[in-house]
Amino acid sequence: MENYIEIARKTLLNPAEVSDRELDQLLGKMIGKSIDYADVYFQYSRSENWSLEEGIVKSGAYSVDKGVGLRAVSGEKTGFAFSDDLSLEALTHAAQSARGIAQGIGSGRSGLLGKGSTQVPVRYSGDNPLQSLDEDAKISLLERVEQEARKQDPRVKEVMVNLAGEHNVVMIVGHDGTICADVRPLIRLNVTVVAEQNGRRERGSFGGGSRQSYEFFQQDERALNYAREAVRQALTNLESVDGPAGTMTVVLGPGWPGILLHEAIGHGLEGDFNRKGTSAFSGRIGEKVASDLCTIVDDGTIENRRGSLSVDDEGTQSQNTVLIENGILKGYMQDLTNARLMGQSPTGNGRRQSFAHLPMPRMTNTYMLSGESEHDEIIESVNNGLYAVQFGGGQVDITSGNFVFSATEAYKIENGKVTQPVKGATLIGNGPDVLTRVSMVGNNLELDSGIGTCGKDGQLVPVGVGQPTLRLDEITVGGVVV
């Protein structure tokens, strides 16, 4: 990570002509009596986005964003200010604003900087993905994906392909003078198609992403497979019929349907809600909240995953946190503030959308471990139910525990067999209750393809989910056939 700290200095501090001595004095202004914690978060982010539709790459966009967020924490109080100007004058002004949360003035103590730096294992390469392909190759990748979608079936009428990449350099300077840096790549490619048959139109969408170079999309025909999968979904939906309304047995396929876990239990186990006692899971550590078959973790350490982090946005090393073990609630996801206030250890879940936002406990990659059952055995066990394999988004009310997730590809299960495709429907359940109804867990854990984005208090961060095939004995399905 030394290397990253040097990169961050060169990218962030040197152009702004902020010296170590000045940064040191700045910290001195922020800390002092009644301030428990303070940090300065520098960020330099480059991103791009290329879009193809109607067979041509119509638009491209490139952004450079840089800025600094300064935070001072006193007990449960937090003062925060940010600036997109990195000059010492702007930093000093922001520090005063952030510091205003506590009474008194900074101690002026200095000589802190460089007292330590965090050495942690790196979970992805720091190379800039935007430079991993030249512009012509990016265009050509989009065009090949489009052609692949079109050649699957003449019913494909519209194809939209989007390629996005981001390279983020962050540097976190803690009040104790420790410095930590991370360099984070993030890429995403998405294909949406509209297919038409006898005047009926349906959509299919698929994509993936990672924290590595764009070559990821070229390996194993990955991007072409996204196109094939998007078309398959659209054609399947052309055959779909109105779905059932009511409570029934639902089998969820492996991978992305793990959005169930993100909504049903993930948010409810974030430290802030539990410290405040506003979550339906508050005060329930050690209690049974799922069937014995369920073991669920939040793991930020998986190499190159969209939701992974080497360090979180407060400089805490990412880790694999057990949330639920054999049905028993084991732990919460924490950032520094909530961990300190709850007397627990931080878990590397302190994340923020950017320098202009305050960090809070957020998920990384949340998934359920494999069980014993074969996928087919789970399907065969159901007489009459629903098999849901693709989903749009989800949402949760953490206080009541009610959550939804919306299926975009689903089938009836009749007498142990997957039959007719049905139209998309929203599923609704209650977090502390739904996992007690998991009666079979497959031996086929899959992580999603790298497409998740989670929103909380208006802040978006990339996340991952995953699960094996699951049987839920009972959940409410929002079809139209009453």
Partner 1 sequence: MQARSIIQDSGSANPDLANAVVYALEFAKRMGTSGAVAGVSRTSGYDLTVRMGELETIEHQNGGGLGITVFMGLRKGSSSTSDFDRQAIEDTVRAAASIAKYTAEDSCNGLPPKDRLVSETADLELDLPWQIDRDQALEIALSCEETALSSDSRIVNSEGASIGTSIQDSAFGNSDGLLVAGRKTRHSIVCSVIGQTDSGMQTDYWFSASRDPGALDSPQSIGAMAARRTLRRLDARKIKTCSVPVLFEAPTAGSLLKNFVGAISGGALYRKASFLLDSLGQQIFPEKTRIHEQPHLKRGIGSAVCDDEGVATETCDIVTDGVLQKYLLSSYSARKLGLETTGNAGGTFNLTIDPGDRDFDEMVKLMNKGLLVTHTMGFGINQVTGDYSQGASGFWVENGEIQFPVEEVTIAGNLRDMFRSLVEVGNDVDYRTGVRTGSILLSNMAVAGE
Of 19, 34, 247, 326, the residue at the interface with partner 1 (CB under 8 A) is 247
Q: Where are the alpha helices (DSSP H) in 66-198?
A: 88-99, 135-152
Q: Where are the alpha helices (DSSP H) in 183-221?
A: 215-218
How would you classify the pairing of strands 417-422 and 37-53? unpaired
**CA gap 451, 306 in Å, rounded:** 8
Of 386, 425, 435, 465, the residue at the interface with partner 1 (CB under 8 A) is 425
Q: Which of residues 176-195 bind partner 1 (CB under 8 A)?
A: 194
Residue 220 in contact with partner 1, rule: CB under 8 A: no
Question: Which one of the spans 31-39, 75-83, 120-128, 316-324 is the region binding partner 1 (CB under 8 A)?
Answer: 75-83
Considering beta carbons, is residue 308 or 449 the nearer one to partner 1?
449
**CA gap 33, 392 in Å, rounded:** 49
Taking the CA atoms of the chain, what radius of gyration do you get in angstroms? 24
Enter the DSSP assignment of 294: -
Tokens matching residue 172 = 């976190």
Residue 233: alpha-carbon gap to chain centroid: 24
Residue 203 in contact with partner 1, rule: CB under 8 A: yes
Q: Which of residues 31-70 bind partner 1 (CB under 8 A)?
A: 53, 56-67
Of 4, 37, 42, 82, the residue at the interface with partner 1 (CB under 8 A) is 82
**Residue 51: CB minimum distance to partner 1, A:** 9
**CA gap 73, 62 in Å, rounded:** 35
Q: Which of residues 383-402 bind partner 1 (CB under 8 A)?
A: 392-395, 397, 399-402
Residue 87 in contact with partner 1, rule: CB under 8 A: no
**Residue 300: CB minimum distance to partner 1, A:** 25
Considering beta carbons, is residue 372 or 481 the nearer one to partner 1?
481
Of 23, 38, 81, 339, the residue at the interface with partner 1 (CB under 8 A) is 81
Question: Which one of the spans 115-123, 161-169, 196-204, 339-347 is the region binding partner 1 (CB under 8 A)?
Answer: 196-204
**CA gap 309, 291 in Å, rounded:** 30
**CA gap 369, 365 in Å, rounded:** 12
Residue 479 in contact with partner 1, rule: CB under 8 A: yes
Q: 233: helix, coil or strand?
A: helix
Say which residues have a Cβ less than 8 Å from residue 5's Cβ, sequence separation at least 6.
Answer: 117, 171, 179, 180, 181
Q: 479: helix, coil or strand?
A: coil
Residue 77 in contact with partner 1, rule: CB under 8 A: yes
Site pattern 298..337 for partner 1 (x: CB under 8 A): ----------------------------------------
User: Exposed/middle/buried for 271, CB within 10 Å: 0-12, 13-18, 19+?
Assistant: buried
Considering beta carbons, is residue 300 or 452 the nearer one to partner 1?
452
**Residue 431: CB minimum distance to partner 1, A:** 11
Considering beta carbons, is residue 133 or 173 the nearer one to partner 1?
133
How would you classify the pairing of strands 56-74 and 37-53? antiparallel
**Residue 277: CB minimum distance to partner 1, A:** 6
**Residue 97: CB minimum distance to partner 1, A:** 5
Cα-based distances in Å from 211 to 290, 313, 323: 32, 16, 24
**Residue 259: CB minimum distance to partner 1, A:** 10
**CA gap 206, 22 in Å, rounded:** 49
| Closest to 317 measured CA to CA, from 447, 180, 453, 185 | 180
**Residue 71: CB minimum distance to partner 1, A:** 10
Residue 153 in contact with partner 1, rule: CB under 8 A: no
Residue 292 in contact with partner 1, rule: CB under 8 A: no
Residue 404 in contact with partner 1, rule: CB under 8 A: yes
